[in-house]
Amino acid sequence: MISVTHVSFSYPHAPSVFEDVSMELSAGERVVLLGSNGSGKTTLARLMNGSLVPTDGEVCVDGTNTADVSSTHGSLQVGLIRQDPANQLISASVFEEVAFGPSHLGLSQPEVLACAEKSLELCGIAHLRDRTTYELSGGQQQLLAFAATLALSPHYLVLDEVYVQLDARTRTKIRSLVASLVSAGLGVLELSHSVESLFGASRVLWLHDGQIAWSGSPNDFLQDASRAAAAGLMHTGYARILQKAVAQGFDLSGAHDIKALGRYLCKKGLQDEVKSLLLEGSSSCGRSSHARLNCDVDSDACLNAHTLALRGASLTFETTRALDKVSLESKGELVLLAGRSGSGKTTAARVLAGVLEADEGKAVFDGARVSVGSVGLAFQNPENQVFADTVFDDIAYGPRVRGFSASSLKDSVHRAAHEVDVDSEILKRSPFELSGGQLRRVALAGLVACHFDALVLDEPTAGLDGASRQLIRNMVKAYADHGVPTIVITHDVGEWLEVCDRVMFMAGGKIVGTYCAQQAQFQEDIYEKADLEAPPEVQLLMQLKGGEDFD
């Protein structure tokens, strides 16, 4: 058992993260820890595996105080898989990364090889064994971090927002793997902002205002809509529908099953109400581009809409064809680029922003070749984008390089921070003291402060709580409405359908389909072209419509 007893913690020169927190994690259970960005979830995770030591109180793993042993010993007992996998990887190749841990456990060479092969197979990345770690996509790096951690055979596993960079199909497979490990006796703490995590969980904990504010079953937690909203879970139509079902008695004890949910809603006679809820956003799908084409918005936005495009872009990394004659365009639109991990989305984003040059073809902005710094790029991993001593200086770096005057620079920083909900007190702190969600908002603020005329955003809502996700979606839509071409790379197509104009699917480095937002909301089969699962909202709507075609 991991026992956290009357624990308090604060970072140097910063307010206390939490005080007098107590909790337990037993073998053979999966506990979900909820909380808004900055609530202390990641700090608690690091305390549990011994990489941090409490200011007060104690953390014991199977009776041993983490303060009395090395952090290396703690990580062997409690595997921590972080939300920023790139910073967790240390080896040059995939196989070396997974074999590194077992090779330091006194195992024979054949045992090390067998252990590494088994972990790669379990995580579905055996085909990547000879690839270099730096050429992997974010999702593939996350799976590699999983495999490397499992190869150490820890007694407990702490998952810090580990599903956010994975597509739905891969999430389902890894959730199934985790469930089997729990059944075999592994104790798992899962940090999450997603209602999907509640399915099959043993307990739910809510970390709020520096305290464990609530503890109980997933069903009891979701019964209260206001509490679920305060915890940041109610930011999608699917979450709100699931809450309605739970309030009517739907059981979350099994695995995530959308068809079972649909059958239950029909059984309770809720299908018409749910269809109405799901259809509420359909009239707004594609609204920004439609309005501009008909000049229903500010005429200046119609006249001044910029164009960002890829023209026949191809790019090869060593032996991997990352892009294969990719062409796409946004003329003052919000366009989603979706696909499975490793499909080429992030590579396309970097070529669009001018930080990678294609072997063939090019990226163009308003007809001219894109140069570095002309297009704003939000990285998939925000920790790779921040570097200054303070948050203020980090946000100010771009405007300073672009020649903003001292007065306009300060004003731009404060406006950008306000726009993405970065508190003014945080501006004085080091960005490296922040939570993953806070860090992502800081990285986005750095783009906003620069006043770019085109944006490429790689997973801009990953790891954010519900309120922050809604804020970012609204902000991005507002830019597109004013003629700023915006490309969003995402695994969560469903959350963007109400605000985007088009969805483009990638697979194997190619564009395999382009659809308007309404098609993506009402045609489940189009996702198969990119080997993707349709968003839960789309699956549920099609089930409740009884397979009718959208006219």
- The length of the chain is 551
Query: Domain ranges in the chain?
Result: 2-228, 384-451
Q: Are 489 and 337 in contact (CB under 8 A)?
A: yes
Torsions phi, psi for 258 (to 5 deg): -70, -35
* CA 51 – CA 160 distance, rounded (Å): 14
Contacts of 217 (CB under 8 A, 6+ apart): 203, 204
CA dihedral 90, 93, 94, 97 (to 10 degrees): -30
Q: At 46, is the pLDDT very low, low, confident or very high (cuts 50, 70, 90)? A: very high
Position 209, amino acid: D
Q: Which two tokens stand for residue 304?
A: 């001044």
pLDDT at 300 over 60: no
Task: Look at residue 549 in the predicted model and tell me its pLDDT.
Answer: 42
Residue with tokens 């949910």: 261
Q: Which two tokens stand for residue 110?
A: 């054949």
User: Quick one: DSSP state of residue 153?
Assistant: -
Residue with tokens 């008909």: 294
* CA 339 – CA 507 distance, rounded (Å): 6
The three state secondary structure string of 466-481 is HHHHHHHHHHHHHHHH
Q: Are 288 and 334 in contact (CB under 8 A)?
A: yes
**DSSP code per residue over 38-74:** TSSHHHHHHHHTTSS--SEEEEEETTEEGGGS-HHHH
Give how far Cα 322 sits from Cα of 193, 194, 326, 377, 510, Å.
31, 30, 10, 19, 9
* CA 97 – CA 85 distance, rounded (Å): 12
Of 3.30.310.40, 1.10.10.60, 3.40.980.10, 3.40.50.300, which CATH number belongs to 2-228?
A: 3.40.50.300
Q: How far from chain centre, in Å, is Cα 481?
A: 25
* CA 84 – CA 164 distance, rounded (Å): 10
pLDDT at 13 over 90: no
Q: Work out the average pLDDT over 27-56.
A: 95
pTM (two decimals): 0.90
Q: Work out the average pLDDT over 88-110.
A: 94
Task: Look at residue 281 in the predicted model and tell me its pLDDT.
Answer: 60
Q: What is the pLDDT of residues 220-230, one digit of tens each?
A: 999 999 999 99
pLDDT at 490 over 90: yes
User: 10-14, 428-432, 440-444, 473-477: which has the minimum mean pLDDT?
Assistant: 10-14
Q: Give the percent of the chain with pLDDT over 90.
A: 79
* CA 464 – CA 538 distance, rounded (Å): 22
Q: Work out the average pLDDT over 210-234.
A: 94
Tell which phi-psi region holds residue 118, choosing left (phi > 0), alpha (psi between -120 and 50) or beta. Answer: alpha
Provide the CB-side half-sphere exposure for 537 (13 A, CA).
25
Dihedral sign, Cα of residue 366, residue 367, residue 373, residue 375:
positive
Contacts of 247 (CB under 8 A, 6+ apart): 222, 223, 225
Q: What is the pLDDT of residues 512-538, one digit of tens each?
A: 999 999 999 999 999 999 999 999 999
Q: What is the pLDDT of residues 242-277, one digit of tens each?
A: 999 999 999 999 999 999 999 999 999 998 989 888
Task: Look at residue 551 in the predicted model and tell me its pLDDT.
Answer: 39
Task: Look at residue 134 in the predicted model and tell me its pLDDT.
Answer: 87
Provide the CB-side half-sphere exposure for 431 (13 A, CA).
25
Cite the beta strand spans of 385-516 per DSSP E. Answer: 455-458, 486-490, 502-507, 510-516
